[in-house]
Amino acid sequence: MIINTKLTVLTVVVISLFGLIGCNDPEKVSGKEFKRQYELNYIQTLQLSEYIGQHEGKAYMKIKTMSSVGSGYSKERIIFTEIDNLDSEFKNKLMKENKNLGLKEIQR
């Protein structure tokens, strides 16, 4: 098990986000839904999805929904899926993104 400062910071950030956005728990979704949400970030939608990393065999993403009135985002939520639920190609893409974020995996 590898433990580093950046991973600890990620854990604190994820837990803090739960408190800030009023979530008791992140929402578990299928691997297919996680990938769909990730890809929505690259097309024009009223939603912003931000991959925030992996922890204990799970991949996490923050979803922000644009307000229909005024500007800014009105709703935020965290979703996660088991890494094993993701197809190999997408899993490898997230592993590379994890490295770009400066994070190390705890387990595969």
pLDDT, one tens digit per residue, over 36-94 is: 888 877 666 677 888 988 889 999 999 888 766 666 667 889 999 999 999 999 999 99
CA 84 centroid distance within chain: 15
Q: According to the model, what pLDDT value does residue 32 have?
A: 95
Q: Is residue 24 part of a domain?
A: yes
Range of the domain at 29: 5-100
Q: According to the model, what pLDDT value does residue 108 have?
A: 39
Q: Is residue 107 part of a domain?
A: no
Q: Is residue 108 part of a domain?
A: no
Q: Is residue 106 part of a domain?
A: no
Q: According to the model, what pLDDT value does residue 107 have?
A: 40
Please count the structural domains in the chain: 1
